[in-house]
């Protein structure tokens, strides 16, 4: 199944969200379920075919939820795909919720914290970005990086005019 999905994506046969959803639905009916790598290819294909709109990212989020229900454990690539889409359409609360759930799946979230902090600062939600930064500092293995500090400095500079 993995090779079929990858081949269809590379050859342009997954061109629309409906194509991606059809592949996803056929995958969840398989027994045993495909690996997380295959799910990641289908989810990432939604972003690569320009599916960043409210309706389309919600479809990708539904695929993600269904994947979790079926017992497929997401990895950092899965979470990055969904969080990136959520941030692009301004669904920052949902992105934060997913980020906070990532600890259940043992995903190191430094890069995703950076992504969300940057999105929060760009949206003028610097207080929320600082709250997330505080949470980040309290979690072992999640260290702020230069992107986080730069985003926070830019966000604070924008607020102080």
pLDDT digits (tens, 9 = 90+) for 13-36: 666 667 767 777 776 677 777 788
Query: Which residue ranges of the chain lie beneath pLDDT 70?
Result: 1-17, 20, 27-28, 46-56, 140-141
- As a whole number of angstroms, the longest Cα–Cα distance in the chain is 57
Six-digit token pair at 148? 């986080």
Question: With contact defined as beta carbons under 8 Å apart, do 121 and 92 qualify?
Answer: no
Determine the Cα–Cα distance for residues 138 and 133; give it in Å rounded to an integer: 9
**pLDDT of the residue at 55:** 66
Q: Which long-range contacts (CB under 8 A, 24 or more apart) does 98-101 make?
A: 99/132
Question: Can you give the pTM of this predicted structure?
Answer: 0.72
Distances 153 to 54, 93, 136 between C-alpha atoms, Å: 29, 22, 16
Which of 124, 139, 161, 142 has the alpha carbon at shortest distance from 151? 124
The H or E element spanning position 155 is helix 146-160
Per-residue model confidence (pLDDT) at position 130: 92
Which pLDDT score is estimated for 106?
A: 72
Give residue limits of the domains in the chain: 1-107, 110-160
pLDDT of residue 137: 81
Rg of the Cα atoms in the chain? 17
């Amino acid at each position: 199944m993995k090779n079929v999905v990858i081949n269809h994506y590379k050859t342009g046969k997954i061109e629309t969200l409906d194509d991606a959803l059809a592949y996803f639905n056929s995958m969840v009916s398989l027994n045993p379920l495909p690996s997380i790598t295959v799910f990641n290819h289908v989810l990432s294909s939604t972003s690569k075919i320009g599916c960043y709109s409210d309706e389309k990212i919600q479809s990708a989020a539904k695929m993600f939820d269904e994947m979790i229900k079926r017992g497929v454990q997401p990895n950092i690539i899965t979470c990055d795909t969904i969080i990136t889409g959520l941030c692009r359409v301004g669904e920052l609360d949902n992105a934060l919720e997913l980020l906070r759930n990532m600890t259940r799946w043992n995903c190191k979230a430094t890069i995703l914290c950076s992504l969300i902090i940057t999105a929060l600062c760009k949206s003028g939600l610097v207080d929320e970005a600082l709250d997330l930064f505080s949470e980040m500092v309290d979690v072992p293995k999640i260290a702020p990086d230069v992107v986080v500090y730069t985003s926070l400095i830019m966000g604070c500079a924008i607020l102080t005019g």
